[in-house]
Amino acid sequence: MFINIENKNVNVKFINEYIKFSKEIQDKIDAKWKNIIFENPMLWDGDISCVYDVEIGEKSINIFCKKSKYSHYLYQERIGLPKEYECRNISAGSLIETTDNYFVICELDKNTSFPGVLQVPGGNIDKKDINGDRIDYLKTIIRETMEEINIDLNDKKIVKEYKINLLFNADEGIQPGTQIFAKVNLNLNKKELEKYFIDYYERLLQINGELEIGKLHFLHKNNCVEELEKLNNPKRPYLKGLLENNL
């Protein structure tokens, strides 16, 4: 379900305690994690924020989060858990549009947890985005967009404007559970952004940097949904709706 939040006050509250599991569930998560890092030793079982309640009002939305581990998230994503143990992680991202009306879709690099998956620039809340008992999701959007495709949302030469506009609250068992999106309009056209990203990717290769995004796909606004469906890659469940809500 998508909710337009341009005129709503969205508060994300953080409670500094871990979600608790039964020993049986924890043992299953730990065993699966051992298999996952055997296949990809580059992964790290860091803290993530999980949504355990969402209150949607006429003028405001309150989202309540606790801590869990990335291993919990991957177990939920790949195997699934009963509702009382599910990981509804919260994340934030940006839908980017070029000057010639192309939406930018990212393909995750081959060394990530989900190689080849299509999504927009974005990711999980970082502890640097948490201030006391509040999560600053705009910090997440700015940081992830910079890390993944080297776009500084506050650089007026590159970015014309951006605004927080949509919240995706997924059905049970779907990841990400709750995601907040910004709509970003660039001062670059498709060709310019494509070159800009390739230069950034090659620079990361040279310095052995972290490669999160392997490729950009450009979908023209006039037929973006049809073009998305032609791509054979696995896709984040929010993608089609995100495009449709920004047409």
Q: Does the structure show a pLDDT above 90 at 42?
A: no
What is the rounded average pLDDT of the residues 13-34? 94
> What is residue 174's predicted lDDT score, i.e. its pLDDT?
62
> What is residue 83's predicted lDDT score, i.e. its pLDDT?
82
Confidence of residue 176 (pLDDT cuts 50, 70, 90): low
Amino acid found at 29: I
β-pair partners for 41: none
Q: Does the structure show a pLDDT above 80 at 129?
A: yes
Identify the structural domains of the chain with CATH numbers, from first to last.
2-244 (3.90.79.10)
**pLDDT more than 70, % of the chain:** 98
Confidence of residue 188 (pLDDT cuts 50, 70, 90): very high
CA proximity to 232, closest of 117, 115, 96, 113: 117
Rounded Cα distance, 111 and 41, in Å:
10
Which residue carries 């907040």 as its tokens? 180
The per-residue pLDDT for range 136-165, each reduced to its tens digit, is: 999 999 999 999 999 999 999 999 999 999
> Tokens for 91?
């994340």
CA proximity to 18, closest of 64, 58, 69: 69
Amino acid found at 208: N
Give how far Cα 103 sits from Cα of 167, 184, 206, Å: 18, 10, 28
Give the predicted TM-score (pTM) of the model: 0.88
> What is the 3-class SS of the chain, one letter each residue?
CEEECCCCEEEEEEEEEECCCCHHHHHHHHHHHHHHHHHCCCCCCCEEEEEEEEEECCCEEEEEEEEEEHHHHHHHHHCCCCHHHCCCEEEEEEEEECCCCEEEEEEECCCCCCCCCEECCEEECCHHHEECCEECHHHHHHHHHHHHHCCCCCCCCCEEEEEEEEEEECCCCCCCCEEEEEEEEECCCHHHHHHHHHHHHHHHHHCCCCCCEEEEEEEEHHHHHHHHHHCCCCECCCHHHHHHCCC
Rounded Cα distance, 95 and 105, in Å:
8
CA proximity to 238, closest of 57, 85, 228, 230: 228
Least confident of 17-21, 154-158, 171-175, 191-195: 171-175
Q: Are 162 and 183 in contact (CB under 8 A)?
A: yes
> What is residue 162's predicted lDDT score, i.e. its pLDDT?
97
The per-residue pLDDT for range 61-89, each reduced to its tens digit, is: 999 999 999 999 899 888 988 888 888 88
Q: Does the structure show a pLDDT above 80 at 41?
A: yes
> What is residue 170's predicted lDDT score, i.e. its pLDDT?
77
